[in-house]
A = this chain, B = another copy of it.
Amino acid sequence: MAARAPMGPEPGDTTMARDAGLRRYLGYYMKRGMNVVQADLNATLKPLGLRMITFSTLVVASDNPGLRQAQLANFLSIERPNLVAIIEELVQRGLLTRERVKTDRRAYAIALTPEGRTLLDKAKKAIEAHERRVFADFSEDDQTHLVRLMSKLVRQGSGDPS
């Protein structure tokens, strides 16, 4: 490394600033916090061959047996076209069934197979361990606060004045 110049910062001098300018924004803190959660979540699900969206799909399909894809996409807040490959993957792996609805032959009813149930149970345990790990420093109050604050954001985003 070159010797320090006798006066003033040399190019690339980083005596302090770094990301200080970004720490003025609440959104920056949220992004960094979310990155930590998401990285650990992905690492948690990887050994099970799942991602966040496939895990969520199994959870919602499990809670709403017989759901149609359009409704499933709606509950998952993703576009219908993007759900197609996800469903296809889970059906191919024998985790979901996709059966024609008798009363509407356009639609498919989605449901978990026994194998899907088994994997989902395992994944839920892994996710619960993941949350205990990532939110280890969170008191009960912290957790309540987090849910309250995030819910405020979601209400704000939906234009709901309640």
Which residues in A have some Cβ–Cβ distance to B below 8 Å?
2, 9-14, 17-22, 25-41, 52, 56, 59-60, 62-68, 71, 75-77, 101-104, 107, 109, 127, 130-131, 133-138, 142-143, 145-147, 149-157
- Residues of B within 8 Å of A13, CB to CB, are 64, 66
Q: How far is the CB of A65 from chain B (nearest CB, A)?
A: 8
Copies held by the complex? 2
The A interface, classified by DSSP as helix, strand, loop or mixed, is helix
Q: Are B131 and A27 in contact (CB under 8 A)?
A: yes
- Residues of B within 8 Å of A60, CB to CB, are 17-19, 21-22
Residue of chain B at shortest CB distance from A20: B63
Q: Are B34 and A31 in contact (CB under 8 A)?
A: yes
